[in-house]
Amino acid sequence: MTNKTTQIQATGKYLRLSTAKTRRVLDQIKGKKYQEAILILEFMTYKPSKTIKKILESAGNNALNLKYEKQNLIIQQAFANDGPKLKRFQPRAQGRAFRIQKPTCHITINLSIN
């Protein structure tokens, strides 16, 4: 008999957040219990924490659909990958234009059962 752990996943794609700043928040909740992570994200002042909280709640609701209790969930993985960069131009003096790259990211959160 093998001990198979169930993976519950939620993903947010093409989010207008910096990958580095998002990873800083995700590192705070890795390995934490579901309820504890929600509480941490609620009181964080960083911009990505609101979006990450929504994705985490979505993963929790996915677990409810599979008949698992939210208090038994642990954040197994939480990572942010680079998305496509939005290319924009900033007008400068004498007809020049400077290029601005606005980053996007994809956030994935995997939960597992105790």
Q: What stretches in the chain show pLDDT beneath 50?
A: 1-2
Q: What percent of the chain has pLDDT over 90?
A: 92
pLDDT tens for 13-45 read 999 999 999 999 999 999 999 999 999 999 999
Domain parsing of the chain, residue ranges: 7-113
Question: Please, where are the H alpha helices in the chain?
Answer: 19-29, 34-43, 48-65
Residue 93, strand partner residues:
none
**Which pLDDT score, from 0 to 100, does residue 6 have?**
77
- Looking only at Cα atoms, what is the longest distance across the chain? 73
Q: Taking each helix axis from N to C terminus, what angle separates 19-29 and 34-43, rounded to the nearest 10 degrees?
A: 130
Q: What is the C-alpha to C-alpha distance for residues 57 and 60, in angstroms, rounded to an integer? A: 5
pTM, to two decimals:
0.89
Domain 7-113 has CATH 3.90.470.10: yes
**Which pLDDT score, from 0 to 100, does residue 4 have?**
61
